Amino acid sequence: MNTGVKTYDENEKPQFSETTMAEVKRVIGLFPEGKQKSALIRILHIAEEEFGGWLSVPTMNYVAEILNIQPIEVYEVATFYTMFNIDKPGKVVLEVCRTGPCMLVGSDNIIEHIENKLNVKVGETTADGMFTLKTAECLGACGYGPMLQCGKTYHEHLTTEKVDELLDTLRKEHSTSSNS
């Protein structure tokens, strides 16, 4: 989800680019008059992509302003769904499924292994800003657990060895890319 995120200064008032605003208006226009809140989730995805891969309070307030709804209505949605980052994430976000079927085949071990390997707890970002570890509820790949999502890619049938390889690969891939 934070793959290829753009540079974003969180101290600036958020402002969609002209092109993005046109898309936002198109999405809002898909819903009947007075039901613009129905566009919220899609617009939060757009905002995350536009503003550095996460939803700061000013970003959520900006979305509320555009949809003409209360900021609390945006906070409620953004904090409910684990797919949204409400804290600035690392370059790479790992979301490990922890729901029953994955848990039965060892997701707890995978989570613990990543915590130990990266020296973070779930919800934290490594000191070098490279990895953020999150957990997620069922990601729809129950027959392939334990599994994790990284960006738009699923990594399935995980073992601790596979996780080690994955972390090494991701670190190499992202060590030269920027994130702000």
- 147 makes contact with ligand FES (CB under 6 A): yes
Beta bridge partners of 151: none
Beta bridge partners of 41: none
The two structure tokens encoding residue 155: 């990594």
Residue ranges in 86-145 that form contacts with ligand FES under rule CB under 6 A: 97, 99-102, 138-142, 145
The two structure tokens encoding residue 104: 């039965």
CB nearer ligand FES, residue 67 or residue 110: 110
Q: How far is it, in rounded angstroms, from Cα 133 to Cα 135?
A: 7
CB nearer ligand FES, residue 44 or residue 102: 102
The minimum distance between CB 82 and ligand FES, in angstroms, equals 13
Residue ranges in 16-55 that form contacts with ligand FES under rule CB under 6 A: none
Phi, psi at 60, each rounded to 5°: -65, -35
- 3 makes contact with ligand FES (CB under 6 A): no
The minimum distance between CB 168 and ligand FES, in angstroms, equals 24
- Tell me the residue type at 82: T
What distance, in Å, lies between the first and last C-alpha atoms of the chain? Answer: 14
Chain residues that interact with ligand FES, rule: CB under 6 A:
97, 99-102, 138-142, 145, 147
